[in-house]
């Protein structure tokens, strides 16, 4: 090595950047190992960004998800259900980063000679540690990382080492369903950042502004408030595009007499709070305004039943009955929701999802859980979807909608 590189690898230790305490990470590992015991998994191999972060605090800007073939995504974390610590494997390129973004005590860096493709190194290290040879090894088959080709290489290598390789995707996904007090605090902070994003959108939407102008102001305001990059690119959809939920903001100029829909997730320590709001440039037609009011008023209905331990079935049945009563159900777009919390790009949609057909669900919104609720209906005149999304947060002694920016059609000067 050169002298400069020797110095960096030997002595460079940036200040720690961990969102949670060592005790918090220890409790998470205990819960994971208990779930592994329940599922009959001896060794768990993790590569999803959310899993790496949840176990160790690991976060970065690049996970080699769409990298060239010669740069495969092979870094990850191994957990043994009978060992007190986990092993983090990574490339030499991230050796310094591993010193300050993780709580890992056992970091094993690929040799420089095979710095990108660590599969062989990982298997050899786990063998020498006595972690492979017999038993069940779980992998996250439902993670986009690694891609199918690399996933198959891992499966073959682990199987060749004597392990029975099975899907272990549910371990981390379901352990994360109930959040700690520290995680809930992050989501509450993310909700404050979401509100800042909505205020920035409100101030930016005007005739002649582009959707990207609004997008830029939202992201700038949230970043200035300590918000991080969200798991999904934030949509700003105007005019006829307001009838879409997932179109990208572009250079289209907003006009008077148009609806503009914005979907925002504020992010704090990678935890998300999600909201959707609709704006109208000028005075909306009366029938359009009526649809928006009926769609948004569902949150008053939700507030009347909101409590820790709320059954999903009750939430679905009560809101569906409301929509039938006010006569808009036949124009439903998508109504339902999903788990919120820890997320990295390209998604913030959590593992659990519910829809209006889940009238017999046995799922309970217990303390420590967080979901959103989406009320989307096609308004008259092709004006756009009634785009109302709010976060529902459940604690031991309370349940709230932590966003302060009210779900209603915001009428702006034309």
Q: Are strands 310-311 and 271-281 parallel, antiparallel or unpaired?
A: unpaired
**Chain centroid to CA 360: how far?**
26
* pLDDT at site 113: 83
Convert the pLDDT of each residue in 22-43 to its tens digit.
999 999 999 999 999 999 999 9
Domain boundary among 175, 190, 222: 175
Structural domains of the chain, count = 2
Q: What is the dihedral of CA 55, 59, 62, 67, to 10 degrees?
A: 0
The C-alpha angle with vertex 57 and arms to 54 and 59, in degrees rounded to 5, equals 105
Which DSSP string do the residues of 125-177 spell out, in sequence order? Answer: HHHHTT--SSSEEEE-TT-SSS-HHHHHHHHHHHHHTT-EEEE-HHHHHHHTT
Same domain, 161 and 202: no
Task: Please tell me the distance from the alpha carbon of residue 248 to that of residue 236, in angstroms, as a whole number.
Answer: 7
- Looking at residue 2, its pLDDT comes to 79
Alpha carbon distance 307, 393 (integer Å) = 9
164 and 194 co-located in one domain: no
Same domain, 61 and 156: yes
Task: Give the rounded distance of the alpha carbon of 122 from its chain centre.
Answer: 28
190 and 169 part of one domain: no
Same domain, 132 and 236: no
Tokens read off for 218: 């939202």
Q: Return the biggest CA–CA distance within the chain.
A: 75
Label residue 22 exposed, middle or buried (CB < 10 Å: 0-12, 13-18, 19+). Answer: exposed
What residues make up the domain containing 185? 181-412
CATH code of residue 191: 3.90.230.10
Residues 124 and 159 in one domain: yes
Asked whether the beta carbons of 193 and 267 are under 8 A apart, the reply is: yes
For 392, left (φ over 0), alpha (ψ -120 to 50), or beta? beta
What DSSP designation does 283 have?
P
> Closest Cα partner for 130 from 74, 87, 194?
87
255 Cβ partners below 8 Å, 6+ apart? 207, 238, 239, 281
CATH number assigned to the domain comprising residue 119: 3.40.350.10
Residues 282 and 414 sit within 8 Å (Cβ to Cβ): yes
Of 120, 149, 175, the position where a domain reaches its end is 175
Q: What is the pLDDT of residue 112?
A: 86
Do 308 and 164 fall within a single domain? Answer: no
pLDDT of residue 371: 98
**Per-residue pLDDT reduced to its tens digit, 75-108:** 999 999 999 999 999 999 999 999 999 999 999 9
Backbone angles phi, psi at 238, to 5 degrees: -120, 160
Q: Are residues 32 and 119 in the same domain?
A: yes
118 and 12 housed in the same domain: yes
Q: State pLDDT tens for residues 308-339.
A: 999 999 999 999 999 999 999 999 999 999 99
pLDDT of 1 > 70? The answer is: no
* Same domain for 373 and 328: yes
Q: What is the pLDDT of residues 249-286, one digit of tens each?
A: 999 999 999 999 999 999 999 999 999 999 999 999 99
Rounded Cα distance, 169 and 145, in Å:
12
Token pair listed for 397: 């002694």
Task: List the one residue out of 318, 305, 308 whose CA is nearest residue 369.
Answer: 308
Q: What gap in Å lies between CA 374 and CA 166, rounded to an integer?
A: 35
Q: Are residues 406 and 330 in the same domain?
A: yes
Whether 227 and 306 map to the same domain: the answer is yes
Which of 175, 200, 230 delimits the end of a domain? 175
Q: What is the mean pLDDT of the chain?
A: 97
| pLDDT tens for each residue of 141-193 | 999 999 999 999 999 999 999 999 999 999 999 999 999 999 999 999 999 99
The share of the chain scoring above pLDDT 70, in percent, equals 100
């Amino acid at each position: 090595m050169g002298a400069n590189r020797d110095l960096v690898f030997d002595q460079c230790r940036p200040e720690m950047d961990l969102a949670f305490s060592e005790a918090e990470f220890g409790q998470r590992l205990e819960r994971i190992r208990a779930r592994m015991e329940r599922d009959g998994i001896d060794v768990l191999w993790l590569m999803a960004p959310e899993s790496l972060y949840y176990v160790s605090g690991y976060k970065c800007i690049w996970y080699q998800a769409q990298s060239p073939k010669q740069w495969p995504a092979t870094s990850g974390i191994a957990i043994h259900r009978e060992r007190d610590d986990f092993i983090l494997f990574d490339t030499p390129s991230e050796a310094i980063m591993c010193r300050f973004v993780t709580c890992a005590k056992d970091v094993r860096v690929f040799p420089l000679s095979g710095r990108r493709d660590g599969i062989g190194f990982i298997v050899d290290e786990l063998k020498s540690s006595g972690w492979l040879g017999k038993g069940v090894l779980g992998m996250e088959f439902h993670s986009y990382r690694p891609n199918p080709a690399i996933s198959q290489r891992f499966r073959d290598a682990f199987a060749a080492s004597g392990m029975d390789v099975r899907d272990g995707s549910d371990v981390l996904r379901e352990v994360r369903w109930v959040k700690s007090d520290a995680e809930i605090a992050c989501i509450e902070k993310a909700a404050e950042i979401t509100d800042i994003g909505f205020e920035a959108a409100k101030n930016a939407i005007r005739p002649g502004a582009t959707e990207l102008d609004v997008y830029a102001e939202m992201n700038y305001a949230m970043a200035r408030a300590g918000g991080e990059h969200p798991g999904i690119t934030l949509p700003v959809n105007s005019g006829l595009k307001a009838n879409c939920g997932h179109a990208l903001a572009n250079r289209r100029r907003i006009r008077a007499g148009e609806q503009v829909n914005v979907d925002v997730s504020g992010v704090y320590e990678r935890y998300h709070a999600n909201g959707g709001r609709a704006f109208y440039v000028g005075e909306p037609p009366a029938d359009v305004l009526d649809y928006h009011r009926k769609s948004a008023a569902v949150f008053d209905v939700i507030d009347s039943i909101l409590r820790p331990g709320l059954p999903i079935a009750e939430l679905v049945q009560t809101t569906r009955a409301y929509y039938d009563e006010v006569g808009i159900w036949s124009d439903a777009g998508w109504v339902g929701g999903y788990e919120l919390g820890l997320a990295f790009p390209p998604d913030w949609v959590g593992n659990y999802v519910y829809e209006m057909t889940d009238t017999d669900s046995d799922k309970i919104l217990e303390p420590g859980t967080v979901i959103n609720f989406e009320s989307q209906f096609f308004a008259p005149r092709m004006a756009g979807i009634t785009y109302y999304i709010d976060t529902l947060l459940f604690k031991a002694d309370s349940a709230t909608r932590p966003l302060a920016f009210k779900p209603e059609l915001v009428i702006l000067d034309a």
